[in-house]
Amino acid sequence: MWQEHSAFSCSCVLRFSWERATTAAEEQMLPYSSGGLDLAEAAGIAVQTGYLKCDTDDGCEAKEETAGEELFDAVNSSIVSGDSIRFFVNVNLEVPPNATAENESAGCVLLHTSRKYLKLKNFEEEVRAHRDLDGFLARASIILDETATSLDDVLREMLKHFAEDPENMEPSCNFEKIMSTLFTDSGTPREGNGTHDVSESTGMNIQTCTSHLKFHLLSDTIQGVTATVTGVQYQQSWLCIICTIKSLQRRHVCISRLERPQNWGENSCEVRFVILVLAPPKMKSTKTATEVGRTFATMFSDITFRQKLLETKTEEEFKEALVHQRHLLTVVNQRPSTMSDGHKSHGPKPLKLHEFLSVGKGISDDIARRFPVYALDFTDGVIGNNKAIGKYITTMIFLYFACLLPSIAFGSLNDENTRGAIDVQKTIVGQCIGGLLYALFSGQPLVVLLTTAPLALYINVIRGICDDYNLDFSAFYAWIGLWNSFFLVMYSLFNFSLLMKLFKRSTEEIIALFISITFVLDAFKGIIKVFRKYYYHGHTEDSYLEKARTDAIPSIGINTTFLMNSSVSRSMSLENQTGTHDVHYGRETAVLSLMLMLGTLWLGHTLYQFKKSPYLHARVREILSDCALPISVLTFSVVGSCIFKEIEMSKFNYNPSESLFVLAPVQSLSIGSVMSAMGLGFLLSMLFFIEQNIVASLTNAPENRLVKGTAYHWDLLLVALINTGLSVFGLPWIHAAFPHSPMHVRALAYVEERVENGHIYETIVSVKETRLTSLVANFLVGLSLLLLPFPLQWIPKPVLYGLFLYIALTSIDGNQLFERVALLLKEQTAYPPTHYIRRVPQRKIHYFTGLQVLQLLILCGFGMSPLPYMKMIFPLIMIGMIPIRYNLLPRIIEAKYLDAMDAEH
């Protein structure tokens, strides 16, 4: 139904209007209404401003008199819920007998009118459109050739039809109350002759008496309008009236065809069809009265269809016409929907062999795409009108902590696993060098490079292999890194990044959620280790001593626990007095560690969400939100290291290296060891390839609205070159990190909140694409070597664990897989009006979510297995998700539903 025309053509949309009357003390009534049923002129209260004048057969042209406002903005308008805008105000103004003549004429009713454009319903994509019509056909309420002429009488006949139909019975429903709710009643004191007049031509009851005048307008209506260069034209031959009634148990639709066209006021001069939609308020977002009304209004917006309905003789013919119109709407919408968006296709575009044989073509295309805007990466937001220096500073601070703290955490873990071969100092150096090179020369500088948990697992496995086979760790590590870089260079030269087209959004979100789960697992592993060391270990010793004391004095009824605690307290106080020991350790260490971890998470997430609160100024809220991570880390580092300094806390090890840049003795390994390193390097290259490209894909997601282009092949080559140098000097490897990269984009984004059907969601308006934030942040990471061992060692490990939880929690924001899992715990009325809720049946959504969760569990089973060698093959499990998505899932769920749930919006 949606067609684009020239400037002199028009496009049909639906206009939804609601009206509300309130009172105030003025000298005359000033109703302002358009788009609904405007009846003020019929009451003798003509106000020209704000009305649309009718002078055509099926429409009326109007010009908005407010300067600077656009007449037509239907395409991107949100759909509003009928429940949120239903009003019924009954006003009766009685005039005291001794009132003056001036007071008798002073009764003003203010009419609040709101217009909302609704998009025509897409019968090919939105499954609820067919279900609305099927529900109506199953309990059809059709009135043909209605003889009533006034709107009140027509609606009463429709409600009477409801009451008499046994299939539409509503035992607890008061139809008189429904009748009154359909209108916005208002009244004003007027002089009159005491007679009662019913104006059939306007559909309005006017009671005129000595001190009272009453009229009413329809509250919620949907009409078809078309846009022209001179204004909008109303389709006046049909009217859709919607209403939300609390006492209803289900939705009801009634269609009445009038015997003759009726003139019911402005914009409704030739009404032949009336559609009445009633619904209860607590309904799913796709089942509201507005949504049902949109379904039928879309069908009636076709003038050819309305002409066919006029020719029908029986209800069966009327139903057949409805079914035929649904078929036409579905067929018409199929062609543009399958060709306009690549996500709509039922399969990936086939990759041809010559695309991979064009050596270096992807790299050259990336350079040609990004090099013209290279200078802008340094000047955007600094020079010009749209400066964003404040946002850059807060992002630099955030990114500095986001890079430094994981480097400390994983550097400490590598220090333990490699027995000092790769420590915190080397990790910080590698992060600084690799981050600076990537920020300077990458095609997508918003991607953040870090050493990650999977890389720490690989390093641990490599150390175990070296111990088992008496290999030199630094040489074996270097050869694995060199083979990894070699394979990555091959991938980039032969354009293997094109394979990432096969990774759908659902697959990317499974991997992203897996990474978030690994952060949570690392945090809980760390805190469990603290409890085992300080809580349960101390508890075991105390229990043993207590048992020995009990065995030694079995016959004495003394509370030995009290004696033990007293003796420990005395010994501790004695040690404090003598100065030999002033640090407590034991259970208090474990409890404080737990408090620091949870406190870091709580404060960080609270500040991250603070921008949504009403407190302080908007700019202050934004700064606190952007700096949530550093504020929470610094706060609880002070709490753990200064306020509770007498309690021993777990800190990362620091062993200063004699030399940070020592070439690995690569020539010391045998040919067999080098070949075995090639196998491990290939598996490592698969991890690098998937992580680098998926993180880059999530960073360049359409909803982030980046405009400078992508560079997958060049960035992969650059990562290979960077890790070549890191490998030969024994520094930890780095690759694109999730969720740090999307969080970097979010920190540089301008975000606004929008409301759809009562649900608030955030959308990115624009992003400042710059290299400065990454450059400065990684430079500051390098300067942090001067802060070792103090004050960096004052950051307790539990704070780092809280950092992991914070990163995991913020990373699931916007993850559709997590949102769909959460739907299982929500009632249907709380479902958000997302694209997949509209396009996919609810059962299919839950099936798809369950299959995704099953894939996630399999991935976690391999990636988190206690067997070290199973952890090394889990990149192959990631690649195995491609045939599952394209070959297995379509056998369970229709391809069109899979594509709808994989669509970007």
Q: Furthest-apart CA pair in the chain: how many Å?
A: 114
Instruction: Find residue 23's DSSP bridge partners.
Output: 109
Q: Are 506 and 852 in contact (CB under 8 A)?
A: yes
**744 touches 399 (CB < 8 A):** yes
Q: Residue by residue, what is the 3-state secondary structure of 480-540? A: HHHHHHHHHHHHHHCCHHHHHHHCCHHHHHHHHHHHHHHHHHHHHHHHHHHHHHHHHHHHH
CA 257 – CA 308 distance, rounded (Å) = 12
891 φ, ψ (degrees, to nearest 5): -80, -15
Q: What's residue 9's pLDDT?
A: 37
Model pLDDT, residue 486:
96
Q: What is the pLDDT of residue 706?
A: 92
Query: What is the SS3 assignment for 827?
Result: coil
Decide: 770 and 377 in contact? Cβ < 8 Å: yes
pLDDT value at residue 214: 54
What was the pLDDT predicted at 192? 41
Read off the tokens for 438: 């990537």
In this prediction, residue 720 carries a pLDDT of 96
Helices (H), 494-653: 505-531, 537-552, 560-578, 587-608, 618-626, 628-638
For residue 854, the model assigns a pLDDT of: 93
How large is the angle between the packed helices 772-783 and 424-441, nearest 10 degrees? 160
CA dihedral over 313, 319, 320, 322, signed as positive or negative: positive
Residues with Cβ < 8 Å from 378, sequence gap 6 or more?
A: 770, 771, 772
Please name the amino acid found at residue 91.
Answer: V
> For residues 442 and 711, is the Cβ–Cβ distance under 8 A?
yes
Report d(CA 651, CA 831) in Å as an integer: 45
SS3 452: coil
CA dist 846 and 275 (Å) reads 34
Residue-wise DSSP of 218-242: ESEEEEEEEEETTEEEE-TTEEEEE
With a cut of 50, which residues of the chain have pLDDT below it? Answer: 1-10, 21-97, 99-105, 186-213, 335-347, 539-581, 905
What sign does the CA torsion over 312, 314, 315, 316 have? negative
pLDDT of residue 342: 35
Unique residue bearing structure tokens 């390098």:
782
Confidence (pLDDT) at 17: 65
How many C-beta neighbours within 10 Å does residue 846 have? 15
- Res 645: pLDDT: 84
* CA–CA distance, 650 with 562 (Å, rounded to integer): 28
